Amino acid sequence: MTAWHELVVDGAERTLRAFVAGFLAGRGEHAGGVFGSDIALAAGSFGERLKALFAAGSHQVFLAPEPLAVPLARALGERGRELGLVVERRRVVESAKFSFRAEAFSRDVAAQIRDALLVTLPAGVRVEQRSEKEETHPEAHGPEPFAPLHEYIYRVSGDIVGPFEGVLEVWQRARTLEFVETDSLHLEGKILSA
Amino acid sequence: MPPEDLGTLLPTWSAIPFAGMLLSIALFPLLAPAFWHHHYPKVSAAWSAVVIVPFAFAYGAPALHELAHVAVVDYVPFIILLGALFTIGGGIYVRGGLRGTPWVNGTLMLIGTLLASWVGTTGAAMLLVRPLLRANRARRYRAHTVVFFIFLVANIGGALTPLGDPPLFLGFLHGVPFFWTFVVWKEMVFTAGAVLGAYLLFDLYWWRREDALLRARPAVPGEPIRVEGWHNVFFLGGVLAAVILSGTVRLGEVTIFGVAQQVQNLVRDAILVLMLAASWRTTPRRVREENQFTWEPIKEVAILFAGIFATIIPVLAMLRVGEGGALAFVIRVVREPAHFFWASGILSSFLDNAPTYLTFLSTALGRLYPGVAEREAIPRLIAENHAFLQAIATGSVFMGANTYIGNAPNFMVKSIAEEAGVPMPSFFGYILRYSLPVLIPVFALATLIFFE
């Protein structure tokens, strides 16, 4: 899998989006990368959270595969300042992680969740802290107004860990599944330069 | 010793088992559903024993008479009515494929709201929830539809007749005329209209966010709508006729376990049992299987209401004597119809609405006619202070919709929807996202229009 880079850019989000769109168009591409505001990215350390609080709205995160991120960072360095865009930090994303949990009451829904989050995972992506449990209560069949209990209960939780691209794919998949709750994406990486 | 005197002797803490019983029904399904599912009969028996044993030891014959009175006059007819409505309603199955557009959903809810007063909120919810879920199977945004279905069909729609919601039937058993309940039609039309209007706005908003393919009219029409077991409608008619008959004719009185019971009430109960049996015998098993019909709901109602009716005895006795009883503080706080609307409503939001209705009916009687026997006091309440009874009836019925635990069918609909793959909001999500922004403003407006 290609390495992904995280660019933290000081400047207005709309300007950065326009810059990236123009840059991609110039390369003859339509899509590539993902903006931090389009996904739920967790702030790392306490210091970073504090910084994010004070810099709310002025710091943008853009994640892209290395072949796009490197020339984009260079272009931002060359032409960004006149548009008010400054690359503050760039790092290689070495791994990503998010936690999920689900509770479902139908075997069909449970099968969809299991397939999407535990079985058909992209290369290099794995599940850690996995906990999976099925309960059946045949005596709870039919409507029950005062003592409701589901006939079938499926509970699963865990952490999806691995390369950013694959984890992002599973995270996006999980967000479309009903009955699944996902936490923010945590990124681990090595800072390169501004 | 007449029951009124008993009410002046009982201490405040004798209401604790009643509170415990209602809180058990409200909280155990949320906090420990598996425990509750398997052990609710023991919990109900334990709370009942906490009242019955010391009550009988301390007060002897008057206490036993009170118990027998509640069993003969309230409990048995109540269970027979609910059993009949549930069995007959469970024999009707709506087959066919509808398309879950806002207008189709709105029409289904309107039908359910109108039906609820005649087949009971539980019956109407059971009848229509599966067609509603089938119609919306392909939709991405559908939890709000189930929530509004709970508001309208499982609660507000039941306000018009004593068949609609258990509290109103208890009122009927205590002497409120069958057709009196129709006086709340304005409150019901206003509330149901406002909530249905809000639903259409919500659903139009979410419908526009559905996939374009889903919104496009399909080239091939779906399976036509067909009602199976429709002959049960005649049995529903029989139930209706029997209940109305018991409220309009006088056939004398008999004594059962030392309790006077009207013969027409016994005739009514016999007809209801007959209708139940006829429905059971004549409805194909397949129809009941499609409805996932079991006797479990009736078993639950029978066991839990035995506990409720046993533990409510001291509370009602204390309230009936007005400011002379240990619950005088309740009588003093709740004074105006608007207070009764909100007090019965807020309690009905978290506790079962049938005992709440009885509690506030007794509070109103204790406040306005302290010491007067119930059979005299209720006609006077209707003739002289009907706004109080309207407030209690509508507060108890409407505000059962405020939470999942406010009325029995709420949880039932939630469970059925979740098993059909609809991600329903959590207990607090339901309140914060739907009840507070939709229901509470509507109830506040209803207060200004009808009870100020």
Question: Which has the minimum average pLDDT: A50-64, B232-246, B307-321, B429-443?
Answer: A50-64
Q: Position of tokens 């397939």?
A: A115
Same domain assignment for residues A114 and A140: yes
Is residue B380 predicted with pLDDT exceeding 90? yes
Between chains, do B420 and A148 touch, taking CB under 8 Å as contact?
no
The answer to whether position A149 is within a domain reads: yes
Asked if B279 and B91 touch (Cβ cutoff 8 Å), the reply is yes
Angle at B309 between CA B149 and CA B150, to 5 degrees: 5
Determine, yes or no, domain membership for A190.
Answer: no
Q: Which of A147, A151, A179 sits opposite B300 (nearest CB)?
A: A147
> Using one digit for the tens of pLDDT, what is the confidence trace for A85-95?
999 889 899 99
Best A133, A139, A146, A180 member to test B by mutation, with max B CBs in 10 Å, is A146
Q: Which residue has the tokens 């039908």?
A: B111
**Is some CB atom of chain B closer than 8 A to the CB atom of A143?**
yes
CB contact under 8 A, B37 and A147: yes
Token readout for B397 is: 């019925």
Chain B interface disruption, residue of A101, A144, A178, most B CBs within 10 A: A144
Contact criterion met (CB < 8 Å) for B412 and A106: no
Assess B305–A contact: CB distance below 8 Å, yes or no.
no
In a domain, A193, yes or no: no
Domain assignment of residue A194, yes or no: no
Q: What is the pLDDT of residues A141-179, one digit of tens each?
A: 777 878 888 899 999 999 999 999 999 999 999 998 989
Same structural domain, A43 and A84: yes
Give Cα separations from B287 to B279, B280, B452 (angstroms).
Answer: 12, 11, 48
Q: Which amino acid does the sequence have at B4? A: E
Contact across the interface for A108 and B419, Cβ inside 8 Å: no
Q: Residue A103 is part of a domain; what is its CATH number?
A: 3.30.70
Q: How many residues does chain B have?
A: 452
Q: Which amino acid is present at B319? A: L
Is the pLDDT confidence value at B297 over 60?
A: yes
- Asked if A145 lies within 8 A of B416 by C-beta distance, the reply is no
What is the rounded CA–CA span in Å between residue B201 and residue B437? 13
Token digits of residue B104: 């189709």
Distance CA B322, CA A7 (A): 73
Tokens representing residue B377 in the block: 């006091």
Collect contacts of A14-23 with beta carbons under 8 A, ≥24 apart: A15/A83, A15/A84, A15/A85, A16/A60, A16/A62, A16/A85, A19/A75, A19/A76, A19/A80, A19/A83, A19/A85, A20/A62, A20/A72, A23/A71, A23/A72, A23/A75
CA distance A145 to chain B (A): 5
Picking from A146, A148, A178, the nearest residue to B301 by CB comes out as A146
Shared domain check, A77 and A112: no
Whether residues A120 and A80 share a domain: the answer is no
Residue B326 reports pLDDT greater than 60: yes
Q: Which amino acid is at B362?
A: S
Q: Which of B29, B416, B423 sits opposite A143 (nearest CB)?
A: B416
Instruction: Calculate the dihedral angle through the C-alpha atoms of A80, A84, A90, A96, rounding to the nearest 10 degrees.
Output: -120
Pairing label, strands A59-65, A126-136: unpaired
Whether B285 contacts chain A with CB within 8 A: no
Same domain, A89 and A11: yes
- Look at residue B265 in the predicted model and tell me its pLDDT: 92
Going by pLDDT thresholds of 50, 70 and 90, the confidence category of residue B374 is confident
Which pLDDT score, from 0 to 100, does residue A50 have?
A: 63
Query: Is A69 in the same domain as A139?
Result: no
Q: Tell me which of A75, A93, A111 is where a domain ends.
A: A93
Asked if residues B420 and B306 have their Cβ atoms less than 8 Å apart, the reply is no
CB-CB contact of B71 with B155 (8 Å): no
**Which of A150, A152, A147, A148 has the alpha carbon at shortest distance from B42?**
A147
**Residue A43 structural domain:** 4-93
- Decide: B64 and B259 in contact? Cβ < 8 Å: no
B26 touches chain A (CB under 8 A): no
User: Is B440's pLDDT higher than 80?
Assistant: yes
Query: Does A151 sit within 8 Å of B294, measured CB to CB?
Result: no
Residue A131 lies in a domain: yes
Q: Is residue A191 part of a domain?
A: no
Q: Which of A98-112, B60-74, B108-122 is the least confident region? A: B60-74
Spatial contact of A121 and A166, defined as CB atoms under 8 Å apart: yes
Helix (H) or strand (E) holding A122: none
Coil, strand, or helix at residue B267? helix
> Using CB atoms within 10 A of its CB, is residue A56 exposed (0-12), middle (13-18) or buried (19+)?
exposed
Q: Does B289 touch chain A (CB under 8 A)?
A: no
Our CA-based measurement puts residue B251 at a distance from the nearest CA of chain A, in whole angstroms, of: 36
Q: Within this chain, do residues A156 and A169 fall inside the same structural domain, yes or no?
A: yes
In angstroms, the CA B33 to CA A67 distance is 54
Distance between A147 CA and the closest CA of chain B, angstroms: 5
Residues in chain B within 8 Å Cβ distance of A101: none
Is the pLDDT at B9 greater than 90, yes or no?
A: no
**For residues B175 and B161, what is the distance between their CA atoms, to the nearest angstrom?**
14
Residues in chain A: 194
Same domain for A41 and A12, yes or no, is yes
B416 CB within 8 Å of a chain A CB: yes
For residue A46, being part of any structural domain is answered with yes
- Whether residue B421 and residue A143 make contact (CB cut-off 8 A), yes or no, is no
Cα B310 from Cα B323, distance rounded (Å): 23
User: Does B46 have pLDDT greater than 70?
Assistant: yes
CB neighbours of B207 closer than 8 A, spacing ≥ 6?
Answer: B101, B102, B141, B215
Q: Is B358 on the interface with A (CB under 8 A)?
A: no
A179 at B interface, C-beta within 8 A: yes
Residue B40 and residue A150: Cβ atoms within 8 Å? Answer: no
Percent of chain A past pLDDT 90, that is, above it, reads: 64
Mean pLDDT (whole number) for B391-415: 90
Average pLDDT over residues B254-276: 92
pLDDT (tens digit per residue) in A40-86 = 888 765 666 666 666 666 788 999 999 999 999 999 999 999 899 99
- Compute the mean pLDDT over every residue in chain A, rounded to the nearest whole number: 88
Q: Using CB atoms and an 8 Å cut-off, which of residues 20-49 of chain A contact chain B?
A: none
Residues A82 and A118 in one domain: no
| Residue A144: predicted pLDDT | 80
Predicted TM-score (pTM) of this structure:
0.82
**Looking at A63, A93, A123, which one is the last position of a domain?**
A93
Q: Is B290 on the interface with A (CB under 8 A)?
A: no
pLDDT, position B104:
93
Residue B373: pLDDT over 90: no
* Cα of A65 to nearest chain B Cα, Å: 30
- Same domain flag for A78 and A103: no
Please report the pLDDT score of residue B214 as a whole number: 82
- Please answer yes or no on whether B408 and A105 come within 8 Å at the CB atom: no
CA distances to A174, B67, B374, B425 from B70, in Å:
54, 5, 13, 38
Chain A positions in Cβ-Cβ contact with residue B412 (cut-off 8 Å): 143-145, 148
Q: What pLDDT was estimated at residue B26?
A: 84
Task: Decide: A6 and A54 in contact? Cβ < 8 Å.
Answer: no
CA distances from B325 to A173, B64, B370, B401 (A): 62, 20, 10, 32
Q: Is B29 within 8 Å of A148 when comparing Cβ atoms?
A: yes
Judgement on whether residues A54 and A124 belong to the same structural domain of the protein: no
Determine contact, residues A90/A193, Cβ cutoff 8 Å: yes
pLDDT tops 70 at residue A194: no
- Residue A105: its pLDDT value, please? 92
Give yes or no for residue A103 having a pLDDT over 60.
yes
Residues of chain B in contact with residue A154, where contact means CB-CB under 8 angstroms, are: none
**B315's tokens:** 């509370």
Query: What's the alpha-carbon Rg for chain B, to the nearest Å?
Result: 22
- Average pLDDT, stretch B378-398? 94
The answer to whether residue A189 sits within a structural domain is no
Cα angle B243-B245-B251, degrees, rounded to a multiple of 5: 120
Task: Judge whether B296 is closer than 8 Å to chain A, CB to CB.
Answer: yes
- Distance, in Å, from the CA atom of B257 to the CA atom of B245, rounded to the nearest integer, reads 24
Band of pLDDT at residue B438, cut at 50, 70 and 90 = very high
CB-based contact (8 Å) between B37 and chain A?
yes
Of residues A23 and A54, the one with the higher pLDDT is: A23
**Torsions phi, psi of B213, nearest 5?**
-65, -40
Please give the residue that has the higher pLDDT: either B314 or B7. Answer: B314
Rounded to a whole number of angstroms, the distance from the CA of A118 to the nearest CA of chain B is 19
- What is the per-residue pLDDT across B180-215, written as a single tens digit (0 to 9) for each? 999 999 999 999 999 999 999 999 999 999 888 888
Query: Residues of B163-197 as b/e, b for ≥16 C-beta within 10 angstroms?
Result: bbbbbbbbbbbbbbbbebbeebeebbeebbebbbe
User: Do residues A178 and A161 both lie within one domain?
Assistant: yes
Contact B37 A109 (CB under 8 A): no
Smallest Cβ–Cβ distance between A144 and the set B293, B297, B420 belongs to B297
What total number of domains does chain A contain? 2
Q: Is the pLDDT reported for residue B154 higher than 60? A: yes
Angle at B303 between CA B301 and CA B304, to 5 degrees: 65
Q: What is the predicted pLDDT for the residue at B4?
A: 54
Per-residue confidence band for A7, with pLDDT thresholds at 50, 70 and 90:
very high
Average pLDDT over residues B105-117: 95
Q: How many CB pairs under 8 A join A and B?
A: 80
Indicate whether B6 pLDDT > 80: no
Q: Does B293 reach chain A within 8 Å, measured CB to CB?
A: yes
Task: Find chain A residues with C-beta within 8 A of B287's C-beta.
Answer: none
Q: Give the domain-ending residue among A45, A71, A93.
A: A93
CA neighbor of B160 nearest in space, from B131, B187, B136, B184: B184
Angle between helix B166-173 and helix B76-89 axes, rounded to 10 deg: 140
Contacts of A146 (CB under 8 A, 6+ apart): B25, B29, B40, B297, B300, B301, B304, B408, B411
Residues 91-110, chain A: which have Cβ within 8 Å of B?
104-106, 108-109
pLDDT at B2 over 60: no
Question: In terms of Cα–Cα distance, which of A21, A13, A178 is closest to B419?
Answer: A178
> Does residue B63 register a pLDDT over 90?
no
Nearest to B421 among A109, A149, A151 (CB): A109
Report the distance separating Cα B19 and Cα B21, nearest Å: 5
- pLDDT level of residue B446 (50, 70, 90 thresholds): very high
Q: Are B411 and B29 in contact (CB under 8 A)?
A: yes
